[in-house]
């Protein structure tokens, strides 16, 4: 068997990645109409790789194509947010439990640094919503990595795009007081990991995600209304 990757396929992948990044960093907001001719012109490509990219992004549940074939960036429904975060909560809890069991001073120091940077950027400098969402995900990804479970990391990674899509949309309603509460929750979680209190770490991580779920579901319902 001889396999070949065509240049068209490679170009379609590049277009897909460009659009995916723009959606997940908030540059392309929920409800934005994605028109093949305009995208092709901006990226200096033909419409064919753009069409392939939009099909792939629909498979990833990042865009939605209507019967008349117009394609828009998706806004997750309140029910989807509820389900994604309800699934995520116990997984993050398990990750925190196993990270606490394997806790090292180096891990704790790196988590404290990451939490401080995330808080400074969220409350102070105000980075793009995409950057803030990415940093939040990376903070929790570091805990999952410390769990030393490849399978757990794979499952969480499979949810990453949907989580980031939800977070980017939800950051618009994130107040400074709520951001400070999130930082306090992160510090409590890090302290539990530092103390190797695996049970407390699991509960704090799970409760943290469920709290975010409830806020995001409420914010989404207000947007829809």
Looking up residue 107, the CATH number of its domain turns out to be 1.20.120.530
Q: Identify the CATH number of the domain in which residue 12 sits.
A: 1.10.10.10
Token representation of residue 30: 């929920």
Q: Where does residue 141 rank: exposed (0-12), middle (13-18), buried (19+ CB within 10 A)?
A: middle
Q: Are residues 69 and 82 in the same domain?
A: no
Q: Are residues 118 and 23 in the same domain?
A: no
State the pLDDT at residue 128: 59
pLDDT of the chain, 225 residues: tens digit per residue? 554 445 555 899 999 999 999 999 888 999 999 999 999 999 999 999 999 999 999 999 999 998 777 899 999 999 999 999 999 999 999 999 999 999 999 999 999 999 998 888 777 555 556 677 888 899 999 999 999 999 999 999 999 999 999 988 777 667 778 888 999 999 999 999 999 999 999 999 999 999 999 999 988 765 443
Q: Residues 76-94, buried b or exposed e (16+ Cβ, 10 A)?
A: bebebbbebbeebbebbbb
In a domain, 37, yes or no: yes
| Residues 55 and 82 both lie in one domain | no
Contacts of 201-205 with C-beta under 8 Å, sequence gap 24+, read 201/96, 201/97, 201/99, 201/100, 202/93, 202/94, 202/96, 202/97, 202/100, 203/93, 204/96, 205/92, 205/93, 205/95, 205/96, 205/97, 205/140, 205/143
d(CA 221, CA 209): 18
Are residues 113 and 198 located together in one domain of the fold?
yes
CA angle at 221 for the pair 86 and 181, rounded to the nearest 5°: 60
* DSSP annotation string for 111-155: HHHHHHHHHIIIIII---HHHHHHHHHHHHHHHHHHTT-HHHHHH
pLDDT of residue 132: 78
What pLDDT score was predicted for residue 1?
52
Phi-psi region of 44 (alpha: psi -120 to 50; beta: other; left: phi over 0): left
The percent of the chain in helix, strand and coil, each rounded to the nearest 5, is: 75, 5, 20
- If one counts the domains in the chain, the total is 2
Give the predicted TM-score (pTM) of the model.
Answer: 0.85
User: Would 1 be classed as within a structural domain?
Assistant: no
Q: Closest Cα to residue 140, out of 125, 157, 123?
A: 157
Q: What angle do CA 182, 86, 192 make, to 5 degrees?
A: 45
CA neighbor of 210 nearest in space, from 174, 185, 184, 179: 185
In a domain, 2, yes or no: no
């Amino acid at each position: 068997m001889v396999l070949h990757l065509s240049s068209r396929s490679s170009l379609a992948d590049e277009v897909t990645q460009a659009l995916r990044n723009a959606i997940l960093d908030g540059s392309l907001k929920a409800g934005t109409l994605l028109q093949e001719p305009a995208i092709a012109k901006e990226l200096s490509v033909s419409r064919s790789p753009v069409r392939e990219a939009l099909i792939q992004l629909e498979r990833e549940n990042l865009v939605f194509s209507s019967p008349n074939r117009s394609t828009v960036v998706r806004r997750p429904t309140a029910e989807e947010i509820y389900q994604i975060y309800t699934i995520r909560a116990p997984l993050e809890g398990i990750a925190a439990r196993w990270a606490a069991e394997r806790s090292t001073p180096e891990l704790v120091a790196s988590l404290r640094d990451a939490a401080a940077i995330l808080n400074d950027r969220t409350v102070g400098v105000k980075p793009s919503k995409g950057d803030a969402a990415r940093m939040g995900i990376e903070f929790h990804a570091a805990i999952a990595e410390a769990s030393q479970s490849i399978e757990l990391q794979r499952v969480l990674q499979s949810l990453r795009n949907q989580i980031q899509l939800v977070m980017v949309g939800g950051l618009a309603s994130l107040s400074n007081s709520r951001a400070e509460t999130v930082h306090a929750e992160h510090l409590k979680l890090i302290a539990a990991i530092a103390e190797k209190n695996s049970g407390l770490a699991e509960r704090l991580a799970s409760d943290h995600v469920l709290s975010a779920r409830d806020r995001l579901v409420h914010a989404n319902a207000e947007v829809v209304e």
